[in-house]
Amino acid sequence: MTPDRLQRINSMLDQRQPDLTVCMEGVHKTHNLAAVVRTADAIGISDVHAVWKNETMRLSGGSAAGSQNWIDVHDYSKTEDAINELKKQGMQVLVTNLSDTAVDFREIDYTKPTAIILGQEKFGASAKALEMADQDIVIPMVGMVQSLNVSVACSVVLYEAQRQRQAAGLYQQPRISHQRRQRILFEGGHPIFATACQRKGLPYPEIDDDGQIVASEQWWQQMQMTQDAWKKIDDE
């Protein structure tokens, strides 16, 4: 891993917001899935949750492929399971929904642990999501349309969350765990070895402050590669 890449990955990880997330409930259009994940990465979100109404649907490929390398996607088949998990993590659960009880999305305190439910493109959030959410939020409209595209709505809300969190100094305090940082540094900085570890069932090694692998000779032998051979590949 080059010093520049190490610095870039660490800078990204230093600004990750592990207690801010989105949950896509039945979102199925590829371009919307990709746009939501790209925006999440840009905002500094480390986890995205998705409820799949069709078991054959999964987030893969497309324009979000690069972003997916840096974000953990958590899959569910039931909305109830997803929201219960988010609440177990201490999140306030918001849902974008035009209702009498909805508040302007800018009135929410996003410095609190927050999860935002994004409903399906045509029908919006499910009755279960509306029942379990803590608060409906709405993006004010003054035109003829009543809603934005789901990925656009996601971006609008998340950038308000980012604004509030930056003002509160939350982007200046590294908040991701050491264990997670180590995993992402290894997977992002040494992808060939990460793939080999996954294939062979080997544990990930430590990554030192210079971005280099720290492992026993036994580990290298199991990888069937000497350290010299590794350095040669890594420098290419």
Extract the annotated binding site for S-adenosyl-L-methionine: 96, 139, 148
What H or E segment, with its residue span, contains residue 13?
A: helix 3-14
Question: Cβ distance 76 to 48 under 8 Å?
Answer: no
* Cα gap 39→63, rounded to integer Å: 12
Q: 106 exposed, middle or buried (CB, 10 Å; 0-12, 13-18, 19+)?
A: middle
Question: Cβ distance 121 to 29 under 8 Å?
Answer: yes
CA-wise closest residue to 10 among 235, 209, 224: 209
Can you say which residues are annotated as belonging to the binding site? 96, 139, 148
